[in-house]
A and B are shown apart, each in its own frame.
Chain A
């Protein structure tokens, strides 16, 4: 569904959200998510808002390589590829994606689409099919160990993605082989496309499930960047089991009418909704 065109141009951002900056904040990511999804008339907004602070934490503290093609860089896999707009925002704020490329989101001929493609510099792997990313991440972590490299692999998965059996295949492999350099960030927002996870397939005691598969599991407020960074830094990357950081998040975080609402998994914003969303974001600054 296409939303009507704006009567006038979108006002310039109050803060310099369209300029690479340090530190990267969840709020800056959210602003870009709202602007770009509105301009493109594309949904998946709630999921992108859900992971904004996780991306801010990992991109600000862990992904510091100067060259996005450096073979020894830490890897990041957005296994829940439908939150790609938040990833593009992080890449832009990192200075790894141009404003022109960000602005091409979902335009004809642009590689910057609804789901991420590795042809975009800074995207390590193309994703979009849930349940795929963790096995790639486990292979990437195993490869690093075979090469004696100290790089780490981060995989951001959704809670609903844990419906996929393939994810647990990878989880078993990673713990059996002690892939300590593998860190899963789990976006526990309790929602999926057609309902709440407790209604679709009950995922209660998520940390316990991962521990039963041999993982080191911790829980954190998924919107507290400092605590997310602390949880990452507490992970032993050299020995022991792989790590999962179960991040309790709010779907649609930061926009009142989107929070915990199933509709905003897919729905794009109207002009009035967009203006309200931006206003709420600014009011919280």
Chain B
């Protein structure tokens, strides 16, 4: 996603001289298409994320559209207060790009995981929050949102090859994208883990369980109406996210179910403990936290077998 995002950003920068790119000394082999094409509009600010966001606040006030780039926790968490008191409070078009949402920096350990970025960003009412599920959607999401008036947080994955079957690069702010139809249960997915959910839905189908899959890439504006409409057709809705179970998509789903008084059981498949002491590959971590296709199949099978309360 990150390479597709930067390629698309280069296209936008060709059209609009206001587009700048700042990095906190990250993005080796990723940011070069921009830095080489626009050396005067690219700034490696050093390992200083708070300053990077503060700089962007001043630049946006001067009329620019600065994109700031780092790994998700360094982009979202270290400068969080600067994001809040800067572009959010001043409603300026700063774009925060957090790469590697979830466990994508697997072996690098917990310092590099993005497990609460959506949660902390989602609470900000005046921040657009986008978490694409694959590189095609990352491109369309950027094209749809790069020029919105206020700030945006983009949560990107690193994978630039895998696509989510059925998604076709679709994106609409405030909407869900259904990628697979089904009748017995509904999986609602945040980010690149959607591909795993589609695999799980295929495996469930071979067992005679029909499971729909939808992608929620626009978290703010939240796809509240689409969620309510879709969830109301199912007795089981399963949120799937490489994110803490509190604060992310699963919480959003619970909010919609409660506020719209829907009769649907919600299961949140996410990370429910601080992942220390078990670094490894992304696949390993998904497995350990019940997020790989096999674990999702087991979980949904179990949940459907439970008697309704």
Interface residues, chain A, CB within 8 Å of chain B? 71, 118, 124-126, 128-129, 131-132, 134-144, 146-147, 153, 165-166, 169-170, 172-173
Closest to A117 in B: B89
A173 touches B55 (CB 8 A): yes
With contacts A135-B58, A136-B57, A140-B59 taken as known, whether A166 is within 8 angstroms of B64 at the C-beta atoms is no
Closest to B90 in A: A118
Tell yes or no: B226 within 8 A of A by CB: no
Q: Which of B41, B54, B61, B90 has the most CB of A within 10 A?
A: B54
List, in ascending order, chain B residues with CB within 8 A of A137's CB.
58
Interface residues, chain B, CB within 8 Å of chain A? 40-41, 43, 45-46, 48, 50-51, 53-64, 66, 81-82, 85-86, 89-90
List, in ascending order, chain B residues with CB within 8 A of A141's CB.
58
Query: Of the candidates B46, B53, B63, which one forms a contact with A173 in the assembled complex, judged by CB atoms under 8 Å apart?
Result: B46
B58 touches A129 (CB 8 A): no
List, in ascending order, chain A residues with CB within 8 A of B62's CB.
71, 139-140, 143-144, 146-147
A134 to B53, CA, bound (A): 12
A129 touches B81 (CB 8 A): yes
A143 touches B59 (CB 8 A): yes
7 A–B contacts, CB within 8 A, in A order: A135-B54, A136-B58, A136-B61, A139-B54, A139-B57, A143-B63, A153-B58
B58 touches A139 (CB 8 A): yes
With contacts A129-B81, A147-B62, A173-B46 taken as known, whether A135 is within 8 angstroms of B51 at the C-beta atoms is yes
A144 to B53, CA, bound (A): 17
Query: Of the candidates B43, B48, B86, which one forms a contact with A172 in the assembled complex, judged by CB atoms under 8 Å apart?
Result: B48
A186 to B86, CA, bound (A): 22
Closest to A167 in B: B51
A173 touches B51 (CB 8 A): yes
A71 to B60, CA, bound (A): 12
With contacts A139-B59, A142-B59 taken as known, whether A132 is within 8 angstroms of B64 at the C-beta atoms is no
Closest to B47 in A: A169
- Rounded to whole Å, the gap between the CB of A6 and the closest CB of chain B is 35
With contacts A126-B90, A129-B85, A135-B51 taken as known, whether A142 is within 8 angstroms of B45 at the C-beta atoms is no
With contacts A135-B55, A138-B55, A170-B51 taken as known, whether A143 is within 8 angstroms of B61 at the C-beta atoms is yes
List, in ascending order, chain A residues with CB within 8 A of B53's CB.
135
List, in ascending order, chain A residues with CB within 8 A of B48's CB.
169, 172-173
| Other A-B pairs, 6, CB within 8 Å; known A126-B89, A135-B57, A153-B58 | A131-B50, A135-B50, A136-B58, A139-B55, A139-B56, A147-B62
